[in-house]
Structure 1
Amino acid sequence: MKNEYKKRIERVVEYIEDNLRERISLADVAKVSHFSVYHFHRIFTGIKGETVNNYIARRRLEKAVNMLIFKSEISITQIALDSGFSSSANFAKAVKQHFGYTPSEIRNPEKIKDSKIGKLFSKYGKAFEPSDLYPTRVKDDVINKQSVEDIKMKVEIRELDAMSLCTLASENGYQMESIYDTWDKLISWGRNAGIKEDAQQKFALAYDNPTVTPIEKCRYTASIVVDNDITINEPFKRNEIPSGKYAVVSFKGQPEETLDTQLSLYSEWLPESGFEPDNFPMMEKYLNDARIDGHLEMEIYVKLKDL
């Protein structure tokens, strides 16, 4: 029964994500869940840990801030409209209330004089610093002291065939304990399905930017490649890596150091590449077990489409 409730709420989340640019009616959202409108809001809050209104507002703002950073050629007004806000003034007010900074300050953090705290901290305990969104501003933290040019040189473009996946979502986002627990369950499922652990191809689908989204709210799905005809039952789900062109960059280091490489891929390599990200989450393909080796080896994948 619990899994059925979670499945219905995940349908609601997918609906919201697909319609963030539109005016979202709470009655329509409740209808998607197939729960009574009188009880839907309590069920959503119980499962997701925040109200429907808060979820929609947070996701719109997170999407908008990522656009401010990675789509510098688009005006703040256009980003406001594309994010479901009626005007740039309403957008600026909402951004400042949530993050503590205006859209202009987020785009130009070197002009910020005083540290500020927005609702993001009071609601989720997350301190937001615009400079964290720009990897080249923190030279001492670049992976293995590599320059941006080094990172650019490591990016290769690969054509992938479609691959079927068995997936399991992390209950608490990017929190390491939750991630490891999720992988332990999925790896065990794979062994029981006849896929030896050393033969399992392990991909994580990472949907959110942890510099913007609270860690426990970031959506993370562990996945292993499976045959198309394999049986998959709840709580595991079937998904697919779509065929297409992917930017791939290799990483070796500590798990907490991956963010700079990921941000550099988006903010430094992509704008010069002639491509833009396609509508598929960033993937991490794990090549070792960090708990055993003391470091992480992986490949970071971003699906591409032509500009």
Structure 2
Amino acid sequence: MQVSSAAQRSRTEYTQRMNRVMDYIDSHLDGDIDLAALADVAHFSPFHFHRLFAAWMGATLGDYVRRRRLEVAALQLAGNTRISVLEVALGVGFGSGEAFARAFKLRFGQSPSLWRAATPQRWAAELRGARKLHQAESNLDQAGHSANGHHDAMSDSQSFSSMQVTLTTLPAVRVAYMRHVGPYGVSVNQFWTGTFLPWCFAQGLLPGASCFGRGLDDPHITAPEHCRYDAMVQVPDDFVARSPASMATLPGGRYAIAPFEGTVPHLTVAWTELLRDWLPASGMKLDGRPLFEHMPPDARYDAVTGVMQCELCIPVQPL
């Protein structure tokens, strides 16, 4: 048992160090990413770091950085039509438009300009697919709940596209977090209930604190197995995170906020509605901060039906 516990502690420590490395890479995509600097972030020897990174991530450091640069560029091309392709390329660390165009086409099968031009059609197709999947799931839910005497709160209620969205300025929040890597959806819910919430209660942080969920990747661009999600809880200024949690600051600023009530599959559809339907018509655009879900201390969660309450928070700025 002692060996198993020690191995688990070691794996957790490696996970936290690699999370810091991935966060550092994301915040430095516009410049040179030095191996020695990353090794210092991870507190590993520069001599061994490259091999450790490749073994842990299943990709070389160069391949990982290239993937992140292209994924961020794809998001920027789609979400901000007022900056040029060259500006996007330079902003994610490519030295020339030509090198960027070659790498982008190899990754996404089309040029950056065509990707941008096809965004409305691509988003419309994603929105149709999400709505179709939601309708099929709602029909199954209705049948199941009728048989069991339960009713799905979302099956007959709000249309996601009609959610009331408000603009407000939020303060920065100090949080403790754990990261889930893998497909969004049910596995994230299991991560909350089986891992993160028990840790929060053990630390005395719940009940009473706000919780947040932060998806760091767009699942329409990033492969499901690479999608990162942070489960977070607000902590006091003097709180010191203990393994397996880490500390971070959730950025403040201007956000578009939409109330949500439903199950995890419905949550996925709601995000798609907001980003593919509401945002293009809003006169706003995304900025570089991540989207997140806010669960206030009084937010309700029904363990039987899986229905939850939260606020969907989109970082925005004027076009």
- TM-score, normalised to structure 1, is 0.76
Per the alignment, residue 304 of structure 2 pairs with 292
Per the alignment, residue 301 of structure 1 pairs with 313
Query: Which of the pair has the greater relative contact order for Cα pairs under 8 Å at 6+ separation?
Result: 2
Aligned-partner SS, 1:301: strand
Q: 1:184 pairs with 188, 194, 197, which one? A: 194
Aligned-partner SS, 1:169: strand
Distance 1:166-1:15 versus aligned 2 partners, 3 A rule: closer
The alpha-carbon deviation at position 192 of structure 1 amounts to 2.2
Distance 1:61-1:257 versus aligned 2 partners, 3 A rule: farther
Gaps of at least 5 residues in structure 2 are: 1-9, 136-154
Aligned-partner SS, 2:304: helix
The alpha-carbon deviation at position 185 of structure 1 amounts to 2.1
Distance 1:305-1:102 versus aligned 2 partners, 3 A rule: closer
Q: 1:131 pairs with 104, 122, 127, which one? A: 122
- Cα distance per residue 1:107-133 (max 9 Å; x no partner): 34499xxxxxxxxxxxxxxxxxx8257
Gaps of at least 5 residues in structure 1 are: 112-129
Q: 1:248 pairs with 257, 260, 269, which one? A: 257
Contact 2:178 2:230 (C-alpha < 8 Å) held by counterparts: yes
CA distance in 1, matches of 2:13, 2:314: 32
CA distance in 2, matches of 1:53, 1:155: 40
The amino acid of 1:156's aligned partner reads T
The amino acid of 1:29's aligned partner reads L
2:56 paired with 1:47: yes
The amino acid of 2:58's aligned partner reads G
Q: 1:89 pairs with 87, 94, 98, which one? A: 98
Per the alignment, residue 69 of structure 1 pairs with 78
Distance 1:93-1:34 versus aligned 2 partners, 3 A rule: same
Contact 1:164 1:238 (C-alpha < 8 Å) held by counterparts: yes
Task: State the identity as a percent.
Answer: 30
The alpha-carbon deviation at position 41 of structure 1 amounts to 1.5
Distance 1:153-1:61 versus aligned 2 partners, 3 A rule: same
Contact 1:288 1:296 (C-alpha < 8 Å) held by counterparts: yes
The alpha-carbon deviation at position 276 of structure 1 amounts to 4.2
RMSD across aligned positions (CA): 3.4
The amino acid of 1:244's aligned partner reads G
Contact 1:142 1:261 (C-alpha < 8 Å) held by counterparts: no
- TM-score, normalised to structure 2, is 0.74
Per the alignment, residue 151 of structure 1 pairs with 161
The alpha-carbon deviation at position 220 of structure 1 amounts to 0.6
CA distance in 1, matches of 2:40, 2:250: 29
Distance 1:163-1:170 versus aligned 2 partners, 3 A rule: same
Per the alignment, residue 118 of structure 1 pairs with none
Distance 1:293-1:217 versus aligned 2 partners, 3 A rule: same
Aligned-partner SS, 2:225: helix
Contact 1:70 1:266 (C-alpha < 8 Å) held by counterparts: no
- Cα distance per residue 1:234-266 (max 9 Å; x no partner): 111233334433211123444234344324434
Q: 1:166 pairs with 176, 190, 199, which one? A: 176
Contact 1:143 1:261 (C-alpha < 8 Å) held by counterparts: no
Distance 1:207-1:36 versus aligned 2 partners, 3 A rule: same
Contact 1:166 1:225 (C-alpha < 8 Å) held by counterparts: yes
The alpha-carbon deviation at position 97 of structure 1 amounts to 1.3
The amino acid of 1:292's aligned partner reads V
The alpha-carbon deviation at position 78 of structure 1 amounts to 2.5
Per the alignment, residue 216 of structure 1 pairs with 225
The alpha-carbon deviation at position 56 of structure 1 amounts to 0.2
